[in-house]
Amino acid sequence: MAEPADPAVAASSSVRHVALAAMPKAELHLHLDGSLRVETALELARTRNVDAPRDVESMRAALVAPMPCTSQAELLRAFDLPIALMQDAEALERITAELVETKAAENVRYVEIRWGPLLHVARGLSLVDGIAAVARGARDAATKTGTEVRLICTGLRSHDPAANVDLAEAASRFIDDGLTGWDLAGGEEQFPDPELHRSAFSAARAGGLRITLHAGEWGGAAQVRRALALDPERIAHGPGAIDDPELCAELIARGVTLDLAPSSNWQAGIVPSIAAHPLARLHRLGVSVTLSTDDTTVSDLSLTDEYERALDQIGLTPDELWAIDRHALDVAFADEPTLARLRAEFDAWRAVATLPGTTPPT
C-alpha cells in the first residue's frame, strides 16, 4: 500500500498500525502452504534440490500471487511451488512453527491453521507422518509463543472421494494433538459439488472433527447453498451470500459463520475491490462473520494489514472490528476452557485499551 504523502497522516496511520498489531487477535482461516516464509523457501529449494528461484526477490515474486489474479484458478497456481517445497516432515514441522511465530509476533493469540495432507506425500512421506510433523511444529511453537493453535485438515475437491475418507479417518486420530477441524477446498469451477465428498464429511464428524468447507470463491451464493447441504458450522469465504437475502436469513437462523478474507477475495477476482467486499454489510445484517488473511505469503499480507483495510477501505467502525475479532472466539474449533481463558484475556485488554482507529483521550 502506498504511504500517505502528508507526514501527519503517515504518522497517525503508522500509530494506528502499531495499535492494531498490539490488539489481541484471532484468525480462523489461514493456509499453511500459502504462508511459507521467503527465506525458508529459498533454503528448502536449495537443500531439497527443487527447481525454484535462488534469490530473495525472484522467490518472493514466485510465491506472491498476482494482485489481482483473473480467477480463483490463477490464484491456486501460486500454491504449486510451496507445495513442491513441503514434501518432508522436517519442512512441514518448520514451516508450521514459523507460521505460528509470525502470527504471534503481531499478537494473534489464537490461530487455526489448515492444510491438505494429501498434497504432501509426493516424495514418499506417509500421511500420518506428515500430519504428525505439522502437529509437532504447531505444539512446539504454541509452547514457545503462548499463541493457541488448532489445526484443520483440508480435503481437496479434486481428490478421489475415497482418498478423502481415508484422510478424514487419519486426521481424526490427531484430535488430541490439536487437529480439531475438517475442511474441503480447491477449484470450485471444475469441481463445484461438495456432495461428492459427503462420506468424508461423515467420517470426519464421526471422528469428532468440527466441520467447515470452502465455498463461493467461484459461483457466488449458489455455491454457498451447496456448502450448507453439508451442514457445516462455518464456511470459508462465501461473500456472495450478500446477493441472496434468503440465504443470509438461513445462515443467521442456522448460526453458520462465514470466515471472510477480503484481500484474498479481491486477489481472486471475486470482488472488484476490497472496498466492495460485503464484510461490513454481512456483519450488519447479523450474519456471523470472522476476518482472516487466508494466506500470509500468497497475498503478502499480515492480519494487522487486513484489519487496517477493513477499517480504511471496507468502512468497519473500530467497535465493529473489535466485535468481529472477539466473535472468532465464540465459533473457534477449540475446547471451551481454552476459549473462555482467551475471551477473558481479550476482554481484559479491551477494558483498558483505546481501540485502534479511535482518537485516544488527551
- The site for Zn ion (CB under 5 A) is made up of 236, 294
Q: In the annotation, is 217 catalytic?
A: yes
| Cβ-based neighbour number of residue 351 at 10 Å | 7
Query: Cβ 255 to Zn ion, closest distance in Å?
Result: 21
Rounded Cα distance between 125 and 333, Å, is: 27
Name the residue nearer to Zn ion (CB basis): 236 or 279.
236
Name the residue nearer to Zn ion (CB basis): 88 or 294.
294
Q: Residue 286: is it exposed, middle or buried by C-beta count within 10 angstroms (0-12/13-18/19+)?
A: exposed
Query: Cβ 292 to Zn ion, closest distance in Å?
Result: 8
Name the residue nearer to Zn ion (CB basis): 141 or 236.
236
C-alpha grid cell for residue 281?
A: 454489510
Query: Cβ 355 to Zn ion, closest distance in Å?
Result: 27
Q: Do 151 and 122 touch, CB atoms closer than 8 A?
A: no
Query: Cβ 237 to Zn ion, closest distance in Å?
Result: 7
Q: Do 232 and 212 touch, CB atoms closer than 8 A?
A: yes
Query: Cβ 86 to Zn ion, closest distance in Å?
Result: 16
Measured torsion, CA atoms of residues 159, 162, 165, 167, in degrees rounded to the nearest 10: -50
Rounded Cα distance between 102 and 90, Å, is: 18
Name the residue nearer to Zn ion (CB basis): 33 or 294.
294
Region of residue 42 (phi > 0: left; psi between -120 and 50: alpha; otherwise: beta):
alpha
Alpha carbon separation from 110 to 149, 236, 320 (Å, rounded): 6, 17, 19
> Which of 148, 181, 60, 54 is closest to 337 using CA atoms?
148
Query: Cβ 114 to Zn ion, closest distance in Å?
Result: 7
Measured torsion, CA atoms of residues 192, 213, 179, 62, in degrees rounded to the nearest 10: 70
Q: Which residues, at least 6 apart from 332, have a Cβ–Cβ distance to it below 8 Å?
A: 26, 28, 110, 112, 150, 339
C-alpha grid cell for residue 12?
A: 497517525
C-alpha grid cell for residue 145?
A: 509463543
Name the residue nearer to Zn ion (CB basis): 236 or 334.
236
Query: Cβ 48 to Zn ion, closest distance in Å?
Result: 25
SS3 53: coil
Choice among 112, 217, 306, 308 that is catalytic: 217
Could you tell me the strand order of the sheet in which 234-237 lies? 25-27, 108-115, 148-156, 179-185, 210-215, 234-237, 257-260, 288-291
Rounded Cα distance between 87 and 128, Å, is: 13
Find out whether the peptide bond into 194 is cis, omega within 30 degrees of 0.
no
Name the residue nearer to Zn ion (CB basis): 93 or 183.
183
Catalytically active residues are 217
